Chain A
Amino acid sequence: MSKRPEVEVPGVKSRPCYGSVQLQPRARLHLFIYQPDAQAQLQPLIESVDPSSCLQFEVAGTALAPALVDALQSAPLASAIYLAGDESFLWDMRNLVRGNGFTERQIAMLQPLNSARRVFCTHCYTLTEGVTHSPMVCSGCQRPLLVRDHFSRLHGAYVGVQINAEDPEDLPQEEPLS
């Protein structure tokens, strides 16, 4: 039917890659779920569907509006879901939607809004949001972490590992993440 929403980048095993998103032509209901700044990204898709078969939800923060919860529970089997926002939002929503019984192919993720990453510390398991540079400091254990391209779909996060455990003074230069 449609392309898988994400494919693997060759060589880097688990970094998700976001292709272009097309409307799923056979869907009876199109649900657009986005963060406040990401609606513009979805606009061309939204405009191409009949308003009577389209629902839009803006999600700020982590709380889901009861209307969205209802919509997910009552959406027909022939529904398509389109997600836009930053990368951790995309994966949190995807996991939530999957938990409601939607399949992989029903969910399309747009290009993340920015390059900020959520990082999962492999030492204390704390998640640090909005990381833009590597190395970074873990918000849980304060260890200096190197941000890897290894991505956990469950956490919507990249793995952070302590650099140079013997000599924490000897840190590599900070570089922006792409």
Chain B
Amino acid sequence: MSADKIEVRVAAIAQVAPLIREFRLEAVDGVLPAFAPGSHVVVEMPAQPRPHRNAYSLLSDPRDPSAYRIAVRKQEQSRGGSLFMHEQVSEGDLLKITPPANLFTPSWYAKRHLLIAGGVGITPFLSFLPELRRRGAEFELHYLYRGSQTGAYSDELAAELGSALQRYDSEQACRCDLGELLARQKPGTHVYICGPQSLIDGVCSTARELGWPEDAVHYEAFAAPAPGNPFRVELARSGRVVEVDSDTTLLEALESAEVDVPNLCRGGVCGQCATRVLEGSIEHRDTYLSADDKARQDCIMPCVSRAADDRLKLDL
């Protein structure tokens, strides 16, 4: 993260689903920057031995400058960021965040908006909704979750949206038939998906089969980078060597070594962190590079991808 971090105070914490907590963040000085629907911030948590940095969608009304709200799902298998938020952060604590960035925004050319959320993937849509309603846009929201874990805000949304909301609690044997849902969409519809990769893949392949244009399908994956094998990186320009342990991403290891790499999504989506690889083979885990780019083995997204063997040499 670069110098323009914002210091925020955790003004309130609320349990909004069995595994999801909401955090209300207020600026310590001045006001928070305005943001567009679908924006996220990267939250820096003061953990030891190195800070955690996770990206979270803003779920507040983009026009509300008084606070940002984020929701964090507890991931037991994660590398610690979400556990830290759940177990270590209390009201009144100070955190640092990046200014909002946006990789998932409504297409205002669309005639209709079909929103499909899975679990905590509801969050970006909460910032879409006020704007869609202000513009009088036609939309429907389909919300898939497991009642014993997620399903945050589901009752509030039902009260607010009425028939524009469909809920599917998989534990109540309530399934969403994606084929049927997409097939009945009217011309001019754009679909937006936020949720687990399996949901994104399901919608994308259904849309493709139906012959939908690719650019009417928008999605945001919120998967956190998974652990992997430890490896060592050599930095060609400085001659330094940085060790990456199995729970640390390459980007985090570089940051700990004070090597600045620009980044935005920290999830392998935006391409900001692209770094040239001079030697070693790469295990690509991003969704930014094309299959051809990946096969060339000369560029890595250090926020998620790792060495396939035990070393890499980077042009840094």
Contacts and interface: CB of A to CB of B under 8 A. Distances in A.
Given A26-B208, A98-B109, A101-B109, A1 B188 contact: no
User: Nearest 9 A-B pairs (CB), nearest first?
Assistant: A101-B188, A78-B211, A101-B111, A26-B211, A103-B215, A105-B213, A105-B215, A106-B213, A103-B213
Contacts, number: 51
Interface string B7-44: 00000000000000000000000000000000000000
A115 interface: no
Contact of A27 (B185, B187, B190, B211): B211
A155 B213 CA distance: 25
A73 B215 contact: no
Contacts of B214: 1, 105
B140 to A, nearest CB: 15
Contacts of A27: 211
B215 A77 contact: no
Given A98-B109, A101-B111, A76 B213 contact: no
A77 B210 contact: yes
Interface in B215-256: 215-216
Interface of A: 1, 26-28, 73-79, 98-106
28 contacts: A1-B214, A28-B211, A73-B187, A74-B187, A76-B187, A77-B188, A77-B189, A77-B210, A77-B213, A77-B216, A78-B210, A78-B212, A98-B109, A99-B109, A100-B111, A101-B109, A101-B110, A101-B111, A101-B187, A101-B189, A102-B188, A103-B107, A103-B109, A103-B215, A103-B216, A105-B213, A105-B215, A106-B213
A77 B187 CA distance: 5
A95 to B, nearest CB: 11
Contacts of B187: 73-77, 79, 100-101
Interface hub of B186, B187, B189, B216 (most chain A Cβ within 10 A)? B187
Contacts of B211: 26-28, 76-78
Nearest to B211: A78
Given A103-B109, A103-B216, 20 more contacts: A1-B213, A27-B211, A76-B187, A76-B211, A77-B186, A77-B189, A77-B213, A77-B216, A78-B210, A78-B212, A79-B187, A100-B111, A100-B187, A100-B188, A101-B109, A101-B111, A101-B187, A101-B188, A103-B190, A105-B214
A103 to B, nearest CB: 4
Interface string B158-195: 00000000000000000000000000011111100000
A101 B212 CA distance: 13
A77 B107 CA distance: 15
A91 B111 CA distance: 20
Contacts of A26: 208, 211
Contacts of A76: 187, 211
Contacts of A104: 215
Contacts of A28: 211
A105 B207 CA distance: 14
A17 to B, nearest CB: 19
Interface hub of A27, A74, A78, A100 (most chain B Cβ within 10 A)? A78
A1 B209 CA distance: 12
Nearest to A76: B187
Nearest to A78: B211
A8 to B, nearest CB: 17
Contacts of A99: 109
Contacts of A98: 109
Contacts of A79: 187
A77 B109 contact: no
A73 B186 CA distance: 9
Contacts of A77: 185-189, 210-213, 216
A82 to B, nearest CB: 14
B282 to A, nearest CB: 28
Interface string B63-91: 00000000000000000000000000000
Contacts of A102: 188, 213
A98 B111 CA distance: 10
Interface hub of B107, B111, B112, B188 (most chain A Cβ within 10 A)? B188
Interface string B109-122: 11110000000000
